[in-house]
Amino acid sequence: MLLRFSKMHGLGNDFMVIDLVTQYAHLSSRLIRQWSNRHTGVGFDQLLVVEVPTRPDVDFRYRIFNADGTEVEQCGNGARCFARFVLDKRLTTKQQIRVETKSGILELHVRADGYVRVNMGLPRFELEEIPLNMPARQANYHLQLAQQSIAFSALSMGNPHAVMRVDNIELAAVTHIGPQVETHPVFPKKVNVGFLQVDSMHSAQLRVWERGVGETQACGSGACAAAVVAIKQGWMQSPVDIELPGGRLTIEWQGEGQAVYMTGPATRVYEGHIRL
């Protein structure tokens, strides 16, 4: 059996996208790991799956699997690619698309210029919602790692994020600190780790160590989390341009109790078939 797929990326954060509305496949973690291998498979950061919705008020179900085979709650760059995919494949003709995810409902708007604006929902700061095992909610938390102590802010954008401000993004110890924080016991579901350099009130640079993947070219939910932290701490004001290694995202947030909006590109790389 041949399974059709698309290879896509959002600012270099790359995906294998599968339509399981008109096709059928049983996805095991072993199979996903096999496909994600960049030497012997398709190669991707995440697998995105389009499914029939389970509720009447949405258009599709959107599922996300990391390269290690684990299913996760949210992927902002993937959401933009999802919107372009369902339009390109004529699974819908709508420019405004509602999709259900593991973390709730996402609203996607494909603009005339091809950019996609995503309502990423409310950021959540309560410890049990992140989740984070700390005594009390704070603006900043401290963590003792193997050789140093770090300060970070934490929140959920549908998936858990820790954000640290750094002076120099190029010198940030992403590959050293990232995996230590990702797997630290205070984060029972692991965590995505953002390293943020603030350049002005409306622009910043960001690198992200993603749980289950490693450092990626871009992380949409990570950019949202970093912008929320920067605005909440008074370092920046909305709208915020976040420059990632793969390109730029624009994030809008008007404060606690308000939804976060992310705007950026989605690119199709190629179409393919894979034998099951």
What are the two backbone dihedrals, phi and then psi, of residue 6, each rounded to the nearest 5 degrees? -120, 145
Token duo for residue 113: 């210029």
The contacts found for 88-91 with CB under 8 angstroms, 24 or more apart, are 88/6, 88/268, 89/6, 89/19, 91/19, 91/21, 91/22, 91/50, 91/60
Instruction: Report yes or no: 60 and 97 within 8 Å, Cβ to Cβ.
Output: yes
81 given a catalytic annotation = no
Residue with tokens 């995105």: 48
Instruction: Tell me whether residue 219 is one of the annotated catalytic residues.
Output: yes
Tokens of 258: 């308000």
Between CA 237 and CA 148 the distance in angstroms is: 31
Strands 60-66, 71-72: pairing is: antiparallel
Cα–Cα distance between 251 and 240 in angstroms, integer? 5
CA distance 184 to 99: 32
How far apart, in Å, are the Cα atoms of 244 and each of 19, 110, 233?
Answer: 28, 22, 21
Q: 3-class DSSP state for residue 217? A: coil
From 166, 219, 236, 262, the catalytic residue: 219
**Options 75, 108, 191, 244, the catalytic residue:** 75
CA atoms within 13 A on the CB side of 84: 25
Position 155: which residue type? Answer: L
DSSP category for residue 181? H
| Catalytic site positions | 75, 219
